[in-house]
């Protein structure tokens, strides 16, 4: 039997079909592995994002608890996280020297229940506690930092803390209690 040109063209066509079929199968296999790799990568990125988020939450919890234990200026000095309608203030100047925004503390006044003078009293008391024992006196201003407010500066206030000679006697429901207050805080508008 002789191999003719017609046989050759048939074999060539058949071989071409075989190669095309093999390429399609290979392409599907590649696509499948690519898809599998992509889903694995998506899952891995989701997992790392979730891990990072939980680490960030834990870190903020740690910093909040540390700053509150230290009574630090790092986050809040007013004692509670502001709610809607609350007003927040920070110390703006002390003895006419500007105070950096991150060093001025945050003092929260409940909605409708306090004035800037109350925030100033709270700020003065905290600042004196940080200085330590003994008398404390300085002139300062506070600035409102509530969202949506005009960020007005209040003051100047003149604060003085003096040590008491005798403990204060308090009455509650007809009973007298001796409470050891070491200091008395006087705060006044010095305008």
Token pair belonging to 116: 């800037």
The pLDDT of residue 75: 47
* Alpha carbon 110 to chain centroid, angstroms: 20
| DSSP 8-state code for residue 102 | G
The pLDDT of residue 165: 78
Locate all alpha helices (DSSP H) within 4-147, ordered by sequence: 5-70, 116-131
Close Cβ partners of 88 (under 8 Å, ≥ 6 residues apart): 78, 82, 106, 107, 108, 109, 144, 145, 146
List the chain domain ranges.
39-69, 87-189
pLDDT string in tens for the chain (191-residue length): 688 888 888 888 888 888 888 877 766 555 556 566 666 666 667 667 677 677 666 666 555 544 444 444 444 554 667 888 899 999 999 998 999 888 888 888 888 888 898 899 889 988 888 888 778 889 999 999 998 999 999 989 988 888 777 777 777 788 877 776 677 777 877 66
The pLDDT of residue 7: 87
The pLDDT of residue 153: 94
Q: What are phi and psi of 136, to 5 degrees?
A: -150, 130
């Amino acid at each position: 039997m002789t191999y003719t040109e017609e046989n050759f063209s048939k074999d060539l066509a058949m071989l071409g079909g075989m190669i095309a079929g093999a390429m399609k199968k290979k392409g599907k296999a590649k696509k499948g592995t690519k898809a599998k790799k992509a889903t694995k990568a998506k899952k891995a990125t989701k997992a790392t994002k979730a891990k990072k988020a939980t680490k960030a939450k834990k870190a903020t919890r740690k910093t909040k608890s540390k700053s509150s234990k230290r009574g630090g200026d790092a986050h809040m000095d007013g004692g509670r996280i502001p709610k809607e309608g609350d007003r927040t203030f920070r110390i703006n100047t002390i003895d006419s020297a500007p105070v950096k925004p991150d060093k001025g503390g945050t003092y929260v006044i409940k909605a409708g229940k306090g004035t800037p003078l109350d925030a100033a009293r709270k700020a003065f008391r905290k600042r004196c506690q940080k200085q330590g024992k003994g008398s404390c006196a300085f002139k300062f201003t506070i600035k409102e930092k509530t969202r949506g407010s005009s960020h007005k500066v209040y003051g100047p206030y003149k604060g003085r803390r003096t040590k008491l000679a005798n403990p204060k006697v308090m009455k509650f429901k007809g009973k007298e209690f001796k409470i050891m207050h070491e200091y008395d805080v006087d705060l006044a508008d010095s305008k």
